[in-house]
Amino acid sequence: MIKAGIIGATGYAGGELVRILMGHKEVEIKWYGSRSYIDKKYYEVYQNMFQIVDDTCLDDNMEALADQVDVIFTATPQGLCASLLNEGILSKVKVVDLSADYRIKDVKTYEEWYGIEHKTPQYIEEAVYGLCEINREDVKKARLVANPGCYPTCSTLSIYPLIKEGLIDPNTIIIDAKSGTSGAGRGAKLDNLYCEVNENIKAYGVAVHRHTPEIEEQLGYAAGADVKINFTPHLVPMNRGILITAYASLNKKATYEEVKAAYDKYYGSEKFVRVLDKDVCPQTKWVEGSNYVDVNFKIDDRTNRIIMMGAMDNLVKGAAGQAVQNMNLMFGFKETMGLELVPMFP
């Protein structure tokens, strides 16, 4: 049994981490970190935890936390983990950072897209990008994991096999993405008020969204060259879920069987990536509350382009579920432990 601490346990991603870890038989949560609710009972923040969690919220003292646990999750705003981390902490515990602080290898790119100064760039190189299906062996050896972003997880997994197999031209990729509002966190924001979101759909961050360089970097590794994409996210009136529809030019005429074989090559034995049957389009409802990413594709012979689709739950595979998957790998637990969550429907 290992002990875990969560800094940012009161946010949406941290809350989901609590829910998942409560069902993990090898983990005990020792620290419910917060900024606004210090000394309050955790269940007062989330009454769904009434009579389930009786602990009191603590602060973000990562030094003190590192003496008491084996793993620390940071589910906090961009920049916080980078401002707290140091060698003393990393020598004692493993860290899974759910923010973007260690995802992008080029610090200038991070600072430019996030508009903040990186406080501990010395750890960027060592951090492993925790997209488990692709970087599994490195995650197993890591003491610091950069848990991938929600849109980048869904986008990269939906597109990756086709770049690796040379089937598409990566510089023709256009990603149209949609997210439920839990992706924006629990903090009050005008754009996320009921009247702004309900019965509405809107693009945001057009051509400037901070996940663009993260997706480009990951697809670039698959291509073995720099990649530039168009990425447009939309906010939709749902609680959870991400759907991506991506378009790219095929390098040559391809059949359904060839493309399907590429997906099967990478995901055939993956528990959490489901390549759906022919012509079945992924839906957010089919993955809600689970760690699955559903992917599929359709070839458009008229234009010699391909449409790639992916759906997942932003709070599970897009955040807390993937963080637990990473923790399982880092501690040598069965990778699926605590994550065998059956999707909710309807």
Ligand X SMILES: CC(=O)N[C@@H](CCC(=O)OP(=O)(O)O)C(=O)O
Q: Cα torsion for 334, 336, 338, 341, to the nearest 10°?
A: -160
Residue 289 near ligand NDP by CB under 6 A:
no
The number of residues that bind ligand X (CB under 6 A) is: 9
Query: Measured between alpha carbons, how far is 11 from 32 in angstroms, rounded to an integer?
Result: 11
DSSP readout, 268-296? TT-SSEEEPPTTPPP-GGGTTTSS-EEEE
Query: Measured between alpha carbons, how far is 240 from 310 in angstroms, rounded to an integer?
Result: 14
Site for ligand NDP in 27-66 (CB under 6 A): 34-37, 60
Q: Which two tokens stand for residue 32?
A: 């419910």
- Residue 315 DSSP SS3: coil
How far is the first Cα of the chain from the last one, in angstroms, to the nearest whole number? 35
Indicate which single residue of 11, 149, 161, 213 sits in contact with ligand X (rule: CB under 6 A): 149
Query: Measured between alpha carbons, how far is 231 from 244 in angstroms, rounded to an integer?
Result: 10
Residue 233 near ligand X by CB under 6 A:
yes
Indicate which single residue of 18, 20, 65, 75 sits in contact with ligand NDP (rule: CB under 6 A): 75
DSSP readout, 132-151? HHHHHHHHHH-SEEEPPPHH
Catalytic residue among 57, 150, 154, 281: 150
61 CB neighbour count, 10 Å cutoff: 14
Please, is 255 exposed, middle or buried when counting C-beta atoms within 10 Å of its C-beta (0-12, 13-18, 19+)?
Answer: exposed
314 CB neighbour count, 10 Å cutoff: 28
Which CB, 185 or 220, lies closer to ligand NDP? 185
Indicate which single residue of 49, 57, 89, 100 sits in contact with ligand X (rule: CB under 6 A): 100
Which CB, 189 or 265, lies closer to ligand X? 189
Q: Which residues on neighbouring strands pair with residue 312, listed in sequence order? A: 242, 293
Residue 184 near ligand X by CB under 6 A:
yes
Window of 22-30, 34-42, 83-91, 176-184 that interacts with ligand X by CB under 6 A: 176-184
Which CB, 185 or 343, lies closer to ligand NDP? 185
121 contact, one of ligand NDP, ligand X, none, CB 5-8 Å limit per kind: none
Q: Minimal distance in Å, beta carbon 130 to ligand X?
A: 12
Q: Minimal distance in Å, beta carbon 308 to ligand NDP?
A: 21
132: annotated active-site residue: no
- With beta carbons less than 8 A apart as the criterion, state whether 210 and 114 touch: yes
Element (H, E) at 254: none
Which CB, 262 or 320, lies closer to ligand X? 320
Indicate which single residue of 58, 235, 244, 324 sits in contact with ligand X (rule: CB under 6 A): 235
Window of 2-10, 65-73, 257-265, 268-276 that interacts with ligand NDP by CB under 6 A: 2-10
Site for ligand X in 1-60 (CB under 6 A): none
Which CB, 205 or 298, lies closer to ligand NDP? 205
Residue 179 near ligand X by CB under 6 A:
yes
Q: How far is CA 230 from each of CA 26, 55, 207, 247, rounded to the nearest angstrom?
A: 42, 45, 7, 10
Which CB, 94 or 103, lies closer to ligand X? 103
Query: Measured between alpha carbons, how far is 67 from 72 in angstroms, rounded to an integer?
Result: 11
Instruction: Identify which of 182, 140, 189, 214 has the alpha carbon closest to the alpha carbon of residue 289.
Output: 182
Site map (CB under 6 A) of ligand NDP, residues 158-197, x = contact: ------------------------xx-xxx----------
Q: Which two tokens stand for residue 22?
A: 């409560």
60 contact, one of ligand X, ligand NDP, none, CB 5-8 Å limit per kind: ligand NDP
Give me the active site residues, please: 150
Contact footprint for ligand X (CB under 6 A): 99-100, 149-150, 179, 183-184, 233, 235
Contact footprint for ligand NDP (CB under 6 A): 7-8, 10-14, 34-37, 60, 75-78, 80, 98-99, 149-150, 182-183, 185-187, 314-315, 318-319
